[in-house]
Amino acid sequence: MDFKDTAEEAAFRAEVRAWLEANATPRQSAEETFGPDLTEDERVAAAKDWQRKKAEAGYAALTWPKEMGGRGAPPIQQVIYGQEEARFLVPARVFENSLGQCLPTVGAWASPELAAQYLPRGIRGDDIWCQLFSEPAAGSDTGNIRTRAERNGDEWVINGQKVWTSGAHFCDYGILLARSDWDQPKQKGLTMFILDLKADGVDARPIHQMSGEREFCEVFLNDVRIPDTHRLGEVNQGWTVMLSTLMHERMSIGGVLPTTLHETLVKLARNATWNGAPALDNDVVKARIADAYLSQKGVDLIISRGITALSKGQEPGPEMSILKLVAARGILDIASFAMELAGPEGMLGHEVLGDEYAFMQMMWLTAPGIRIAGGTEEIMRNTVAEYVLGLPREARTDKHVPFRELER
């Protein structure tokens, strides 16, 4: 048992590190964020620049097959690249959906011509992609999608509304799941398409989030025309295509989850007092610091188990399915307690309280979203219960009923 790289992994790590040192600024602390004062347009532009640089150096799509513009590298190299990049201040998140889910789905299901049209551009950062699955009436219950896709000769005509689409307002393309057959049961009448977000009839409007940002959007689709060549997979096979998208998420094990918030908490507790004595001497404070370590280091160690599997050329085990549950709840608990440390002053903005509070306050405001995005905690528990423990699936009354007969 050890945490060491194999010789091959070490060589790759050294190569990546040297490249990053030559091309990016090292991070001073885990709490530092890239360009906190940039406007969104500037942040997106910076992300595109960085993506292009990575692509030119061959790091943008490490694990993809060579035919698709990748390097055909084993998944462990993607992990190593991610670990090293995390030590530098580079634009994050803008390309997460593009590279993590959308482009791999295009790669797996598009015709060779279509793949050649979109993948190189996507990898180079010329286009940004988003994922248009959720709708007002279809979140956890994705199968309930009502956006209509009607065949008209060589084209499809799309009408409906998507919601919670991250980044749609600055994205160029998206993968869109729509209902192509109302006489089939829910999951059997869906088809996946490539949507051009600049096409006529597409209207993406940012939604004001509780965090104050405007990152996700509602997307209205009005007589939008999609050529049949831009269909991913067979007609009515959209559900299968979507499941393959979610599979890609699984191999990205952990990715962007924070794992050192307990250290941030200790830093804040060092400045805080409790009845005039240092908060760090208080047993309640200490107990919460210990619990913070258990969840944060726990996430890190579970990821290490996943990496071990990848390093051996195996698939990560079922314990990966608890990552988001542990991480999201942990972030919320830690960030809340960080605020409590300062008592009533803990409600003051970091502008007043001090820069050192900025990251925790951001975490507190984003934690509720982390618990929901990509599957709510309840849905994740269902997944663990059904797919890991083999317990009975949720009772369903809608599985074999034609969609048009379902109660609205």
Ligand X SMILES: Cc1cc2nc3c(=O)[nH]c(=O)nc-3n(C[C@H](O)[C@H](O)[C@H](O)COP(=O)(O)OP(=O)(O)OC[C@H]3O[C@@H](n4cnc5c(N)ncnc54)[C@H](O)[C@@H]3O)c2cc1C
Q: Which of 139, 131, 117, 222 is nearest to 177 (CA)?
A: 131
Sign of the CA dihedral with 316 first, then 317, 322, and 326 last = negative
DSSP codes of every residue in 33-81: -S-TT--HHHHHHHHHHHHHHHHHHT-TTTTS-GGGTS----HHHHHHH
Give dist(CA 199, CA 319) in Å, integer. Answer: 42
Contact stretch for another protein (CB under 8 A) within 27-35, 215-223, 231-239, 318-326:
318-326
52, amino acid identity: R
Rg (the chain; Cα; Å): 23
Q: Would you say 166 or 361 has its CB closer to ligand X?
A: 166
The closest of 39, 162, 171 to 98, measured between CA atoms, is 171
Binding of another protein at residue 185 (CB under 8 A)? no
Q: Residue 357: CA atoms inside 13 Å, Cβ hemisphere, count? A: 22
Contacts of another protein in 363-392 (CB under 8 A): 378, 380-382, 384-386, 388-392
Under rule CB under 8 A, residue 141 binds another protein:
no
131 binds, among another protein, ligand X, none (CB under 5 to 8 A by kind): ligand X
- Near another protein by CB under 8 A: residue from 196, 263, 356, 398: 263
Tokens (6 digits) for 229: 């060549």
Q: Which residues of 23-39 are buried (b: 16+ CB within 10 A; e: fewer)?
A: ebeebeeebeebeeeee
Q: Output 190 or 289, the one with its CB closest to another protein.
A: 289
311 near another protein, judged by CB under 8 A? yes
d(CA 192, CA 231) in angstroms, rounded, equals 6
Rounded to the nearest angstrom, the gap between the alpha carbon of residue 364 and the centroid of all alpha carbons in its chain is 18
CB of 133 to ligand X, least distance (A): 3
Closer to another protein by Cβ: residue 187 or 259: 259
Chain contacts with ligand X (rule: CB under 6 A): 97, 130-134, 139-141, 164-166, 216, 369, 372-373, 375-376, 378-379, 382, 394
Site for another protein in 4-63 (CB under 8 A): 4-5, 9
Angle between helices 323-340 and 283-311 (to 10 degrees): 150
- Whether 67 and 75 have beta carbons less than 8 Å apart is answered as no
> What is the rounded distance in angstroms from the CA atom of residue 209 to the CA atom of residue 365?
10
For residue 298, the minimal CB distance to another protein (Å) is 5
Is 287 one of the binding residues for another protein (CB under 8 A)? yes
348 lies in the site for another protein, by CB under 8 A: no
378 is catalytic: no
Among 46, 207, 235, 322, binds another protein (CB under 8 A): 322
Structure tokens at 270: 């060092």
Residue 32 Cβ, how far from ligand X at the closest point, in Å? 22
Question: Residue 227 binds which one of ligand X, another protein, none, with CB within 5 to 8 A depending on kind?
Answer: none
**Minimum Å distance from CB 236 to ligand X?**
20
DSSP 225: E
140 binds, among ligand X, another protein, none (CB under 5 to 8 A by kind): ligand X
Q: Identify which of residues 210 and 277 has a Cβ nearer to ligand X in the complex.
A: 210
Residue 82 touches which of ligand X, another protein, none (Cβ within 5-8 Å per kind): none
Residue closer to another protein by CB (options 116, 385) is 385
Size of the site for another protein (CB under 8 A): 51
Which residue is catalytic, options 15, 40, 249, 263?
Answer: 249
Alpha-helical regions (H) of 312-346: 323-340
Per the CB < 8 A criterion, the answer to whether 275 and 41 are in contact is no
Q: Does 283 bind another protein (CB under 8 A)?
A: yes
- CA dist 293 and 127 (Å) reads 39
Nearer to another protein, 9 or 249 (CB): 9
| CB-closest chain residue to ligand X | 139
Chain residues in the site for another protein (CB under 8 A)? 1-5, 9, 262-263, 266-267, 280, 283, 286-287, 289-295, 297-298, 301-302, 304-305, 307-309, 311-312, 319, 322, 325-326, 378, 380-382, 384-386, 388-395
- Write out the catalytic residue numbers: 249
